[in-house]
Amino acid sequence: MNPSQAAPGSQASLREANRLRVLETLREQGAMTQVEIAGSTGLSPATVSNMVKELDGAGAVELAPSIRNGRRAVLVSLATGNTLLAGIAFGDRDVRVAVATGPRDVIGRQRMPLPSNHNADEGMERAARLLYDLVEKSGKAMTDVKAVGVGIPAPVDSVSGQVGSESIMPGWRGVDVADELAGRLGAPVLVDNTANLGALGELRIGALQGVQDGVFLKLSHGIGAGLVIGGEVFRGSAGTAGEIGHLTIDEHGQICRCGNRGCLETFIGAQALGEALAVSHGRLTLRDIIARAQGGDVGCRRVLEDAGRHLGVAVAGLVNLLNPSVIVIGGQLALVGDLIVDPLRAAIERSAIPSAAASVTILSSELATEADVVGGIVAAEALHAASDALKVTIGSMS
């Protein structure tokens, strides 16, 4: 029986809600005594005691003797055993992979460049190789990897599971990445946009913790946003919410890779920044531009300041529409800090309605360029927990 199918308001659905609350609390707060679980969930000690017995019987929690406040106590924690989770973040120019036992517990990470015109097959092949390598180095087996969260720097259509644009990442068109990768890795795979995964990572262990209405801006080769509404990542009706990079800034502007004109990306994407510096500086990558700006190069600094200003006009629109309380700046451009944040803030104050501008705080990512990979691990954990909760429920119903 699916957890969501219990008759609402019935004793069965109440028990199920309580069980999920205990599992969620252990996931958030780590090992706890039964008294602490009761305090934290508001459930009675007797209810908690029964619940823990049941969960232990189903292998969903582990019990370990310990000392709390000088007295012997039994700590309850989520059963991990040999469970590994993986996060994979594809970029326009690289792929990054991390293996972990939880979002805060990464045990290995690796990065590999990708050619600019790579196709999905090459990308997935390299990602799989990195993951096999990391698992082997950690002394575990691929069968220990229970779930994988994968980010793609393009809109991901939640209905088709495919890239929601013909021209963004053309080498990935028509590929069911979740299905393909699950086959290669032998574990369930969840695919999402990298900006959404960045928001998920920051929400769980970074700068968006406890935030109800917020935004994670991913500023890298391309530009994306992960929206947080009501304390959760918001994906819209077909999974593609947050596409700020393709907001029209100038109706008569340059043609964008998405096929439209004058999108934000045509002003501040890596290619636009490189072109603005081509005559004076020659051919520079995004990494070059950031490094030189940090080294004091005035041309590179100017280009990034201007990018902050253009970004601010688009973000002001987002502030007017969503009235978020926090905006977190992530991705590679976040590495230059105030150089981009100061003009961004000034442009929001100039272009957003005053009360919305006054109620928003701009923060730097706490997870730096790893927010998306961490978000992949959070997604993998949720995917694994969902299948676990289902097993526990089936066990307790039979």
Binding flags for its own copies, 262-301, as an x/- string (CB under 8 A) = ----------------------------------------
Query: Which of 180, 175, 149, 179 has its CA nearest to residue 163?
Result: 175
Q: Which residue, 41 or 365, is less far from its own copies as judged by CB? A: 41
Q: Which two tokens stand for residue 83?
A: 């469970």
Please report the DSSP string for 180-201 in residue order.
HHHHHHTS-EEEEEHHHHHHHH
Place of tokens 């801006």: 217
Determine if 251 is a binding residue for its own copies (CB under 8 A): yes
N residues, the chain: 398
Q: How many CA atoms lie within 13 A of 178 on its CB side?
A: 20
| CA separation, residue 341 to residues 217, 345, 369 (Å) | 12, 6, 16
Q: How far is the CB of 332 from its own copies (least distance, A)?
A: 22
Smallest gap from Cβ 383 to its own copies, in A, equals 21
Enumerate residues 319-378 that contact its own copies by CB under 8 A: 320-325, 350-356, 359-360
Q: Give the binding-site size for its own copies (rule: CB under 8 A).
A: 66
Site for its own copies in 96-125 (CB under 8 A): none
Angle, vertex CA 27, rays to CA 23 and CA 31, nearest 5 = 95
Q: Is 41 in the site for its own copies (CB under 8 A)?
A: yes
String marking each residue 185-214 x if it binds its own copies according to CB under 8 A: ---------------------------xx-
**Position among 150, 244, 304, 341 found at the interface with its own copies (CB under 8 A):** 244
Q: Is 173 helix (H, G, I), strand (E, B) or coil?
A: coil
Instruction: Tell me: does residue 228 bind its own copies (CB under 8 A).
Output: no
Rounded distance between C-alpha atoms, residue 291 and residue 244, angstroms: 25
What is the bridge-based pairing of β-strands 189-193 and 145-152? parallel
Binding segment toward its own copies, per CB under 8 A, in 53-61, 93-101, 122-130, 312-320 = 312-320
Q: How far apart are CA 151 and CA 147, in angstroms?
A: 14
CA distance 235 to 241: 5
CB of 40 to its own copies, least distance (A): 11
**Minimum distance, C-beta of residue 323 to its own copies, in the bound complex (Å):** 2
Q: What is the DSSP letter of 256?
A: P
Question: Interface residues with its own copies (CB under 8 A)?
Answer: 7-10, 14, 17-18, 21, 41-43, 47, 155, 157, 159-160, 164-166, 168, 212-213, 225, 227, 229-230, 234-244, 246-251, 258-261, 313, 316-318, 320-325, 350-356, 359-360
